[in-house]
Amino acid sequence: MDHQLSFDNNGLFWFFGNKEYNLEDILSQKCFYLENRVIPTSKLLLCEQVHQDGIIITDQIISNCADLAQPIHIPNTDSLITSKKNWFLCILTADCITVLIYDKIKKIVAAVHSGRKGTQLNIVGKTLDLLFTHFNSRPQDISLILGPGISALHYKVSAEIFEKFVQNTAIEQKYPYLDLRKVIQIQIEQKGITDVIDNDICTYEHPYFYSYRKNKTSQRQLSLIGLY
């Protein structure tokens, strides 16, 4: 299977990073290069990622902070949405799955951090619901891109965690392993979305991605999406 890890066309840019893109190195510069695009670090929005289901529409925050010379850090949230051009929503992962969302008609993007707890809380589905209610987005106008993440084969959990996850998601799993990607895909289907790119790469198996499960790393790969 061919994996599409970046896209730059028709006013939309999205990117899934790996170990080559270290956040500390990126933030130490005024701008950095992704593919052929120059991105000012002052145009990055990062969420705190607290493994919950907090979702923020960032347009007003951007308007209030547009003159800052540094990235915007948004607390207590795991999902960001914007309709503003030339701003980039960022997610940091080391096994969790990043989900990037684009409404091609309304010109809206979202970036979602969906780990075990976020997937259990259906943060992707709730982000889509907010697009539907706040922006009047339609399922047929939305595209989603799933990034690399840990596969079920390497995600073994305790009986307590397993039972709670299955009970809350109502989606069958094979004990003692959790398949986050399977659940996210079903949550997307339940919202009527059919245009989905799935970069089904296991971060545990591939050495060019950070994996917390593999070696308890504190490093994270950067993924982002933005309009221009």
More confidently predicted of 115 and 67: 115
Number of domains in the chain: 1
* Mean pLDDT across the chain: 95
> pLDDT (tens digit, 9 = 90+) per residue, 96-132?
999 999 999 999 999 999 999 999 999 999 999 999 9
More confidently predicted of 33 and 156: 156
Residue with tokens 């339609």: 138
Per-residue pLDDT at 120: 98
The answer to whether residue 114 is domain-embedded is: yes
In this predicted structure, the answer to whether residue 15 has a pLDDT above a threshold of 90 is yes
d(CA 135, CA 72): 23
**Structural domain span for residue 220:** 7-151+183-227
Residue with tokens 């399977």: 182
The answer to whether residue 159 is domain-embedded is: no
Residues 123/3/143/112 CA torsion (nearest 10 deg): 20
In this predicted structure, the answer to whether residue 1 has a pLDDT above a threshold of 70 is no
Q: Phi then psi for 226, rounded to 5 degrees? A: -165, 160
Instruction: Report CA 16 to chain centroid distance, whole Å.
Output: 9
The answer to whether residue 220 is domain-embedded is: yes
Kindly report whether the global pTM for this prediction surpasses the value 0.85. yes
H-helix or E-strand spanning residue 169: helix 159-169
The answer to whether residue 1 is domain-embedded is: no
The answer to whether residue 13 is domain-embedded is: yes
Residue with tokens 């079903």: 186
The answer to whether residue 174 is domain-embedded is: no
CATH code for position 23:
3.60.140.10
The answer to whether residue 65 is domain-embedded is: yes
Pairing of strands 221-227, 195-198: unpaired
The confidence band for 2, taking pLDDT boundaries of 50, 70 and 90, is very low
Per-residue pLDDT at 3: 63
The confidence band for 35, taking pLDDT boundaries of 50, 70 and 90, is confident
The answer to whether residue 115 is domain-embedded is: yes
d(CA 197, CA 25): 29
In this predicted structure, the answer to whether residue 24 has a pLDDT above a threshold of 90 is no
Per-residue pLDDT at 179: 98
Range 119-147 average pLDDT: 98
